[in-house]
């Protein structure tokens, strides 16, 4: 089990880092794959991204009790989160949002514009703010959204601009994982893709070769990617394959 004092990347204050790109830390707090045996798994996805200036929760899984329990066991105070990004409307990605907002409503929630009005109304009723996302946009100094891409359903992915290259985080990749990576590269004007992590939505095994062709250095498929796809990536990428699941911490140093 991780305790707060052993996780130096979580602090009670958000620090400024000037123009230099900071160390990025990603931690899985909700997934149907498990790394930390003390944490609970369930179908869905949710991860935290710390950029030194902001603590972003990307997707909330399907159950807020599991989400918050895993965060507590890891040693993360949910009230330190200041931004929430929801990838798409499916319950295993947005289901934990309402319960999370009961604990911390001092956040801005970025949701696809296509989200039903009742979700937007719920966010307002909980006292939080929301931003509708249609086109690619900057969320924080180092975090961007691909904008709403057609699946169906419409889905946004998160792009982190790190010194080592782009880090792309997907919820389910309904628009196609390769399409998402290409879109991120196009929008950011960068060819270097350091890491792609998240749900890849059971792509064909040819995705491994396609990832090599578009220059993805490291991969961490989870959630809805499928065991055969994970195994194929592990065989091809070897030390650049990251086994990902709830409790996994990825540190991207400067």
The pLDDT of residue 22 is above 80: no
Query: Region 117-145: what's the mean pLDDT?
Result: 97
> Is residue 20 scored above 90 in pLDDT?
no
Please check the confidence at residue 115 and state whether its pLDDT lies above 80. yes
Residue 7 has pLDDT above 50, yes or no: no
- Asked whether the predicted pLDDT for residue 47 surpasses 60, the reply is yes
Q: Is the pTM of this model over 0.85?
A: yes
Q: Is residue 254 very low, low, confident or very high in pLDDT (cuts 50, 70, 90)?
A: low
Q: To the nearest whole percent, how much of the chain has pLDDT over 90?
A: 89
Kindly state the tokens that stand for 216. Answer: 């993805």
* Residue 33 pLDDT greater than 90, yes or no: yes
Asked whether residue 12 carries a pLDDT value surpassing 80, the answer given is: no
Domains of the chain: 22-252 (3.60.15.10)
How would residue 174 be classed by pLDDT, with cut points 50, 70 and 90?
very high
Whether 5 has a pLDDT exceeding 60, the answer reads no
Q: What does the pLDDT read at residue 126? A: 98
pLDDT attached to residue 253: 84
Residue 92: name the closest of 25, 174, 177, 15 by CA. Answer: 174
Q: What is the pLDDT of residues 217-239, one digit of tens each?
A: 999 999 999 999 999 999 999 99
What pLDDT, on the 0 to 100 scale, is given for residue 162? 93
Q: Average pLDDT for residues 47-74, to the nearest whole number?
A: 96
pLDDT band at 21, cuts 50/70/90? confident
**DSSP line for the chain:** ---GGG-TT--SSPPP-TTSPPPEEEEEEEESSBSSTTSPP-SSEEEEEE-SS-EEEE---S-HHHHHHHHHHHT--GGG--EEE---S-HHHHTTHHHHHHH---SEEEEETTS-HHHHHHHHHTT-EEEEE-S-EE-SSSEEE---B-SSSPB--EEEEETTEEEEEESS-TT-HHHHHHHHHHHHT---EEEEEEE--S--TTHHHHHHHTTEEEEEEETTS-HHHHHHHHHHHGGGB----BT-EEEE--
Q: At residue 100, does pLDDT exceed 50?
A: yes
Averaged pLDDT for residues 102-121: 98
Residue 208 has what pLDDT?
A: 98
- Say yes or no to pLDDT of 18 above 60: no
């Amino acid at each position: 089990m991780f305790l707060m004092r052993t996780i130096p990347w979580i602090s009670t204050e958000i620090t400024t880092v000037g123009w230099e790109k900071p160390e990025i830390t990603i931690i899985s707090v909700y997934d149907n794959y498990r790394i930390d045996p003390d944490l609970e798994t369930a179908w869905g996805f949710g991860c935290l991204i710390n950029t030194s200036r902001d603590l972003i929760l990307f997707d909330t899984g399907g159950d807020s009790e599991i989400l918050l329990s895993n965060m507590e066991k890891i040693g993360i105070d949910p009230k330190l989160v200041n931004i929430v990004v929801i990838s798409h409307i499916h319950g295993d990605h947005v289901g934990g949002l309402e319960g999370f907002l009961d604990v911390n409503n001092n956040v801005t929630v970025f949701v696809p514009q296509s989200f039903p009005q009742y979700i937007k109304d719920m966010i307002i009723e909980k006292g939080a703010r929301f931003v509708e996302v249609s086109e690619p946009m900057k969320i924080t100094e180092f975090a961007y959204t691909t904008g709403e891409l057609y699946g169906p359903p419409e889905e946004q992915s998160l792009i982190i601009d790190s010194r080592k290259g782009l880090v792309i985080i997907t919820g389910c990749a309904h628009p196609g994982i390769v399409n998402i990576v290409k879109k991120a590269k196009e929008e950011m004007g960068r060819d270097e893709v350091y890491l792609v992590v998240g749900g890849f939505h059971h792509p064909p095994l040819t995705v491994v070769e396609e990832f090599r062709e578009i220059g993805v250095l490291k991969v961490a498929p989870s959630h809805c990617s499928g065991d055969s796809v994970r195994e194929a990536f592990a065989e091809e990428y070897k030390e650049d394959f990251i086994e990902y699941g709830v409790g996994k911490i990825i540190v991207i140093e400067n």
